[in-house]
Amino acid sequence: MENEISNRLNALFHEMVDIRRFLHQYPELSHQEEHTPRYIANYHEQLGLDVRTNVGGRGVVATLTGAYPGKTIAVRADFDALPIQDEKDVPYKSTIPGVMHACGHDGHTALVLALAKALSERRSSLHGTVVFIHQHAEEVSPGGAKQMIDDGCLEGVDEIFGTHLWATEPLGKIQYKHGPFMAAADRFEIVIQGQGGHGAQPHVTKDAILIGSNVVQSLQHIVSRRLNPIQSAVISVASIEASNPFNAIADQVKMEGTVRTFDPDIQKDIKRVMDQTINGVCQSYGASYTFNYFDGHPAVVNDPSASDAVANAAKGIQEVQEVEYAEPQMGGEDFSYYVQAVPGTYFFTGAKPKDVTETIPHHHPKFDIDERSMLIASKTLARTVLQRTGTTQAEGFEHIK
């Protein structure tokens, strides 16, 4: 059966590409997905799977029940796009102004649909149950994961697996990790209220821009001087806004930014110390402030057993050139909610486009992937699912070309 699934995925590669390029041309923003979930649901229905729509809002869940008893394994793919103008010169460029798949979610969807087709055609030999979770709104907080979980998408699931096509790593590389892998991604807002005035008379003002500048610098000292250097954290002020003419001193400054952490205790400490720091700076200038902190996605914490299952599966796939134990990433992912609820793991599949002289990061207007990465990811997930459902030990998979 392992050989049959691998061969079938090879045969389905061009269909994966077609699906991915179709979705790339018609992207939909988070919480605005209408056509994409309908397309996904219709695909699964044609396979004869049990399909639920509008799960947690706009999510789709398709269930494949094997002929024999075994574990229930979930595979997750996200399908929302980003508010970015597609600047690539390719035939499958986005047709929606200001919206594009700049993170690979179109590829995630395509490879999981192909996986569902390959497995469903062999259901008479399949042990256990495979649940295909297609998630909306990954790119925003709160995202679709928690909504779908609250709506029962993980009921009866023993383990969950997901992958991200990672365009900054070369084709043929699989990256996995035990424990914390991607960071909690929080947001904060600061408003500093000073006292405006004429630019020629700073002595009678409380310069909000000057105060804000001191706040920005002081916040950077939290990680470098208040945090144990063994711990990891990021505080980034990403936006500063003060609307006033060139010859007027601003009375108010608004700032926004993000905090990234892995440890919930560190996250809590950073919130407290940030407030202390802002308060201290503003008091020294006689200014007031408001500080709002918004918890985002928690950290993705991978189950070691599930992570090893992916690594072992990947090592048996010919197209995989390297299986690497990865460093933690400060990027955020709401896959974290799934692995809080059930054991599971999230891994990266190298997808750097071939013949590129410059690495294009995710969320870039010229973002693209090497579509062969979808085949590698689907084979890695297939082999993992077959092992974890109890269908097979996947022996001989490495001989398939």
Annotated binding site for Mn(2+): 103, 105, 139, 164, 363
- Yes or no: say if 107 and 373 are a contact pair by the CB < 8 Å rule: yes
Residue linked to tokens 């050989």: 3
Contacts of 103 (CB under 8 A, 6+ apart): 82, 139, 362, 363, 367
Active site positions, annotated: 80, 138
Torsion angle of C-alpha atoms 226, 227, 233, 239, degrees rounded to 10? 0
Residue type at 194? G
What letters, b where the CB count within 10 A reaches 16 and e where it falls short, cover 204-239?
Answer: ebbbbbbbbebbbeebeebbeeebeeeebbebebee
Helix (H) or strand (E) holding 237, with range, is strand 233-241
Distances (CA, A) of 49 to 13, 44, 113, 157, 201: 21, 6, 12, 17, 73
Tell which residue, 362, 262, 252, 334, has the closest CA to residue 76.
334
d(CA 10, CA 103): 24
Of residues 108, 84, 132, 106, the one with CA closest to residue 36:
106
